[in-house]
Amino acid sequence: MSFSLNLKVRDYECDMQGIVNNAIYQHYLEHARHEYLLSRGLSFAEMTRQGVFIVVVRAELDYRKSLQAGDEFQVTVKAVRPTPVRPVFEHSILLDRDAPAILRAKITCTAVNDAGRPYAPAQLAVLIDG
């Protein structure tokens, strides 16, 4: 199941070239992941309070076109689990629903226990379909 979130570029997110700074895209992706978690009944903040610490261990971003101030866009999120302890969030950023993605990303995460070791908390099972 894919999730999507509509956002709009704010002026201060742009660099001197008038395009969105490359680092800002990770903010968009993270915000969409947190909203995706909420849509599946999970609160990132609540899981943290419960001692479930989810961390990013790898970020792969393929930029294809730049966003500019005022652009309205959609961020999609889909979770897959190639390994038991490392869910991957597949993202796309689209200017139009039917247009090619201007960014594709894979964000690999894991949960770590008190000893800093990766594990698969039961809460994350709801992220993966089928």
Three-state secondary-structure class, residue 53: strand
Strand-pair partners of 37: none
**Candidate list 15, 71, 98, 129, residue with the active-site label:** 15
Instruction: Report H helices in 1-130.
Output: 24-39, 44-49
E strands, 1-130, in order: 3-8, 53-63, 72-83, 86-94, 103-112, 118-119
15 is catalytic: yes
- The residues annotated with a catalytic role in the active site are 15
